Structure 1
């Protein structure tokens, strides 16, 4: 694993994964987002696409065909190569590339991956140092093995959808691609751990990231609750959340998030609302009491917050209490904090014009993540990558990469 943190790509720092080559064989969000995280950290990501391209090239608003908003937000810092992996000749081309790479990230179901020549057994024979990360719906060891899975399916199975019943009275999906995005983070850090292990041992390995298990574990952190103990000592579910006691609260002119947590926070709240006597109330006097009587506690909060405007509450508590206005999605574009830290980055794309990107949310002093390549058009780098890896490009009447390669 090479370290080239002082190198750069244009005017951008190279990042901590500089020198690492990643092959991505994935579409939609789960695999592409995981590979984009690696690309943001400096890896050279080669995105393998079928002749029709990643399905998300058509998902969402777009100025030009094949360059949609969702695709753009999951595919920066990558090079696009077209290969039809149903064709043996293109499988051989992929093998030539993988033989000289460090990581493969793919999200194709196990049986199909074997048919396409991209199983761990097939690729590790070409490269014993390969870190092979397989993202899938379910572990191949369980009874759901091989089932197709998208975000909706995993939200449903993991309990995320049923948790919304406390809010709307029936199961609903969280309105974001929750399972895909959380699982992609697991994949990115698992790959980095694999690379670290390889730096110590010289050995590659297979990594599997099953979405269902990832989101079930994620959900269990607080919601396992009484079932943490065996036999269970109470029902599952973090009570103040599943009973909808905690939520955005209505004010005179909008909604705010408000979460006094410590005794000092509550004393400050009672002082500001003229309810000092509640400091001694057995229901409110300390954290265990407030947990036991959470419904009375949050009813009082609800009644008080309705008496003032957002601005008045922010003026009272904005600097010393966990409190925030409830932003809309559009509000994020002008949020003063995001503006002050340069969260939104703007880049001029050769075909798509000016684009807005959310920068990588973490900072590193010496090897910061960055945007070095803009999202590619379909097959934009096929010829470039073939030349770099010495892949033969003899045209074939079978279709596949040679016919769609773009300079």
Structure 2
């Protein structure tokens, strides 16, 4: 598929997404941002993130808008046969069907991959779960905290700080969401070559164990192991922002040449020929001592002095930026990283981040966010239902549509 300037690369792709919270919706957000028509099918209660955190209008919390922009909202009660029949109508014109419902519950609804693909053989059916169905953990509930603990991330924090801690971000949800998006695109490519759909399983636990082990496996990857698990450079307690005369700074000499220039700059040229620091392997072995040297040197100058020095010496460095100041970063503003939704709710706009990935030099356009059930009628009409059928679904509670507000979002 060629990428035409001004045409989103995924335009024409239709995704029916039953997923909620963060994991699945983050995966489908990537597809929606780059042009896919993502139809978010919600229960009558709606995705719980609609009311998680601060909101100016009920059902449109800031976190919901961030994760679910550029999608359309349809409400179907899948506990009713009529609601499931309406979903089948949507799937008849879809390329991807995705959900994060546990295996036993999705089978009870008759929406498991085996059943769906019998009826829609070209459909990509994606199950985003906590654990693979073929293992003993299948069907267990899973949230970010649980997976961070089970995949080893909390233990990495212990190894560095002596205390079990979660990362202060929903890393498992977001990373697994990216894996999910990649898996969907991989399956679509396979269908382009074979004409057949795929049953895709994206388990958080396995995805996060693979992510966590990448650099930490090291010599433990051999049979028998050549070393213990854990990448010393990353786990070193000195691996942190360095305190300067007036704050903190990020310093990262990495290559042998960069270390030689750094040692000369701080008046310790002899360290360049110290056997502990002459190669990547030896530096990794003595990383605590090396980082301690950097930490001591950092305290002798201001942060700006170090940034100027590192730029002169071609040594990677950067300032410490708090989250509030990131929003005003001159580079991000220059590249158009933040975009405004003029009518994010009935009280005004929202300013959201983009993924940053460009196709033919263009960022995705953030154009809309839907209230619960805002698009139900239109999407069902597109699926081939007439007005009488739609009214029947609405009247029996198998479907729901929101009432028009003072300003319809992005319309």
Q: TM-score range by the shorter chain?
A: over 0.9
User: What displacement does 1:353 show?
Assistant: 1.4
Q: Quick one: which of 162, 165, 171 aligns to 1:172?
A: 165
* Correspondence for 1:388: 382
Q: Could you list the runs of 4 or more consecutive aligned residues of structure 1 that deviate by over 4 angstroms after TM superposition?
A: 395-398
| Alpha carbons 1:95, 1:126 under 8 Å: kept | no
Tell me if structure 1 keeps the 8 A contact 2:28–2:38. yes
Partners in 2 of 1:405 and 1:88 — Cα distance?
A: 22
d(CA) in 2 for partners of 1:4, 1:117? 37
1:327 aligns with 2:321: yes
For 1:160, the equivalent position in structure 2 comes to 153
CA separation of 1:117 and 1:352: change in aligned 2, threshold 3 A: farther
Whole-angstrom distance in 2 between the partners of 1:406 and 1:48: 17
Specify the alignment match of 1:378 in structure 2.
Answer: 372
1:187-246, Cα deviation, whole Å (9 max, x unpaired): 111111111111111110100000000000011111112211111121100012223232
Change in CA separation of 1:180 and 1:140 when aligned onto 2, cut-off 3 Å: same
Q: How does 1:202-221 map to 2 (within 5 A)?
A: 202-221=195-214
Contact 2:8–2:364 at 8 Å: present in 1 too? yes
Distance across 1 between alignment mates of 2:94 and 2:331: 40
Which of the residues 378, 381, 397 maps onto 1:399? 397
Match of 1:240 in 2: 233
Q: Which of 251, 258, 264 is residue 265 of structure 1 equivalent to?
A: 258
- Mark the runs of 5 or more structure 2 residues left unpaired by the alignment: 405-411
What is the aligned residue count? 398
Aligned 8 A contact 1:4 1:18 in 2? no
Within-5 A mapping of 1:276-295? 276-295=269-288
Q: State the Cα distance separating 1:253 from its structure 2 match.
A: 1.6
* Match of residue 407 from structure 2: none
Residue pair 1:383, 1:405 contacting (<8 A) in 2 also:
no
Q: Does 1:43 align with 2:43?
A: no
Answer yes or no: is the 8 Å Cα contact 1:4–1:14 preserved in 2.
no
300-309 vs 225-234, which deviates more? 225-234
Q: Which residue of 2 aligns with 1:340?
A: 334
Preserved CA contact (<8 Å) 1:16 1:369: no
SS in 2 for 1:163: helix
**SS of equivalent residue, structure 1 residue 164:** helix
**In structure 2, what is the Cα distance between the partners aligned to 1:243 and 1:262?**
18
What 5-or-longer segments of structure 1 have no aligned partner?
A: 8-12
> Which residue of structure 2 lines up, in the alignment, with residue 83 of structure 1?
76
Aligned equivalent of 2:355:
360
- On the 8 A contact 1:80/1:379 being kept in 2, the answer is yes
How much is the aligned-residue C-alpha RMSD, in angstroms? Answer: 1.7
How far 1:374 moved relative to its partner?
1.3
Residue pair 2:375, 2:401 contacting (<8 A) in 1 also: no
TM-score in terms of structure 2 length = 0.93
2-side partners of 1:40 and 1:188: how far apart? 12
Residues 30 and 181 in structure 1, CA contact (< 8 A), matched pair in contact too: yes
Are the aligned partners of 2:216 and 2:229 in contact in 1 as well (CA < 8 Å)? Answer: yes
Deviates more, 1:277-286 or 1:153-162: 277-286
Q: Is the 8 A contact 2:394 2:401 kept in 1?
A: no
Q: Which residue of 1 aligns with 2:193?
A: 200
* Aligned 8 A contact 2:132 2:203 in 1: yes
Of 106, 113, 125, the match for 1:120: 113
- 2:221 paired with 1:251: no
Q: Which string of whole-angstrom CA distances, capped at 9 and with x for unpartnered residues, describes residues 288-335 of structure 1?
A: 221222121111111001111111100111362111112111121111
Q: Deviations over 1:135-173 (max 9, x none)?
A: 000001111111000000100000001111134321111
Aligned partner of residue 135 in structure 1, secondary structure: strand
Distance change (3 Å), C-alpha of 1:260 and 1:131? same
Do the aligned partners of residues 387 and 180 (structure 1) sit closer, same or farther apart at CA in structure 2, a change above 3 Å counting? same
- Give the CA deviation at 1:174: 0.3
Alpha-carbon offset, residue 369 of structure 1 = 5.0
2:92 matched to 1:94? no
Q: TM-score, normalised by structure 1?
A: 0.94
Which residue of 1 is the match for residue 408 of structure 2? Answer: none
Q: What residue in structure 2 maps to residue 10 of structure 1? A: none
Cα 1:207/1:64, change in 2 over 3 Å:
same
CA–CA separation in structure 1 for the residues paired with 2:125 and 2:305: 54
